[in-house]
Amino acid sequence: MNKKYWLMAVSALLALSLSACSEKDDNEASGDTEKANAEEVSTDASDTDKEDAADENTTEQTITYLGEDYVLPAKVDNIVAASLESMEDAAILGVKPVGVLAIGEAIPEYLASELKGASLVGDKFAPNNEAILALNPDVILGSSKHGEDVVAAMNKIQTMIPYSHLSENWEENLQLLGKLTGKESKADEIIADYNAKAADAKEKIGDSLKDKTVLVLRIRQGSLAVYSEETYLNSVLYTDLGLQVPEIVTNTKGQGELSLEALADINPDYIFLQFEDSENADNLTAKDDLLANPIFKSITAAKEDHVFVNTVAPLAQGGTAWSKVRFLDAAIKNLVSE
């Protein structure tokens, strides 16, 4: 073979070798890319599985209520309503607590049908810790009125949330129970309906009661009790309906006692009077005695037949959705002119 043909043969072999190397490199690069992609998909799937597994294995949740955090089981099934306020909200939301408080020896009559079947766990003054423990609660809805010893004892059983007794927190209360039970939309609906109805009634009342005195009174242990502006049922009258706040209400902190003579001096135009036998066990005739008293009968509200007795259940707590919805209806019926 002459030199010319020898050089041509070497060049051809070299080209074939370079082509083979290039194909090999491309194949290896392609393989590396596919491997990397497969590893990425595998990693993504693994991360997703881990997240799903983490969700399934989550055993706790943190609930924020009135600025405080409370750690509860991830799934809340067993609710002990250890306050009348939470019992009323449970009734209006259609929630079934496993445990509730008793009045006397039974579920309070005005909530009995909605809370039927719940176990009794003592009364509002002395919840029964053994009875609560036996129900294996996921959360205990106590009361903001409970003392430190009661709170500490309940928290040893399970997280106790101090359900507010103040009317100003009624929306937060209902939203809390809605969140715990998956009824958030129903809670929001109740709140929206109430606020719309109150706004409509306020507009209808207008200035018709501008110079009128409207009082909510409660007979307890045979004496007349009056309340501050945001306590008991008063928020419906003075906040939601915008009625004039009487001086006696402004000067009362929480609950105060009112003498019959002082009531006569105030001379209210309208009185919503609440009386419950269990709160007057030693003076069961207190209501009838008051209504028959000559001093009381001289008051404008009595003379004009504007004394409304037990327009809502006398044990109603006042500052809950259940109480406010029903008392708003009573106020509209008796105060709003057709």
Do 236 and 148 share a structural domain? Answer: no
- In this predicted structure, what is the pLDDT of residue 104? 86
- Whether residue 119 is contained in a domain is answered as yes
Query: What is the rounded (10 degree) CA torsion for 19, 24, 29, 32?
Result: 170
The pairing of strands 223-227 and 255-258 is antiparallel
Would you say residue 288 has pLDDT above 80? Answer: yes
Do 278 and 165 share a structural domain? Answer: no
- Whether residue 131 is contained in a domain is answered as yes
- Whether residue 8 is contained in a domain is answered as no
CA atoms within 13 A on the CB side of 52: 6
Domain of residue 176: give its range: 61-181
Average pLDDT of the residues in 278-302: 96
What pLDDT digit, counting tens, does each position of 107-120 carry?
999 999 999 999 99
Q: Give strand pairing partners of 103.
A: 106
Average pLDDT of the residues in 137-155: 95
Do 100 and 156 share a structural domain? Answer: yes
For the chain, how many structural domains are there in total? 2
The pLDDT confidence band at residue 71, using thresholds 50, 70 and 90, is very high
Distance, CA of 24 to chain centre: 70
% of the chain exceeding 70 in pLDDT: 83
Question: What pTM was estimated for this model as a whole?
Answer: 0.81
The CATH number assigned to the domain holding 233 equals: 3.40.50.1980
What pLDDT digit, counting tens, does each position of 43-61 carry?
444 454 544 444 556 899 9
Would you say residue 298 has pLDDT above 60? Answer: yes
Compute the mean pLDDT over every residue in the chain, rounded to the nearest whole number. Answer: 87
- Whether residue 245 is contained in a domain is answered as yes
- In this predicted structure, what is the pLDDT of residue 124? 84
- In this predicted structure, what is the pLDDT of residue 272? 98
Query: What is the rounded (10 degree) CA torsion for 203, 205, 211, 213?
Result: -120
The pLDDT confidence band at residue 19, using thresholds 50, 70 and 90, is very low
- Whether residue 1 is contained in a domain is answered as no
- In this predicted structure, what is the pLDDT of residue 126? 81
Average pLDDT of the residues in 285-308: 97
- Whether residue 269 is contained in a domain is answered as yes
- Whether residue 17 is contained in a domain is answered as no
Contact between 255 and 226 under an 8 Å Cβ cutoff? The reply is yes
The pLDDT confidence band at residue 337, using thresholds 50, 70 and 90, is confident
What pLDDT digit, counting tens, does each position of 175-198 carry?
999 999 999 999 999 999 999 999
What pLDDT digit, counting tens, does each position of 196-245 carry?
999 999 999 999 999 999 999 999 999 999 999 999 999 999 999 999 99
Q: Where are the beta strands (DSSP E) in 101-145?
A: 119-120, 139-143
SS3 call for 72: strand
Do 176 and 208 share a structural domain? Answer: no
Please tell me which residue, 250 or 338, carries the higher pLDDT value: 250
Mention every residue, 6+ apart, whose C-beta is less than 8 A from residue 262. 248
- Whether residue 188 is contained in a domain is answered as no
- In this predicted structure, what is the pLDDT of residue 169? 95
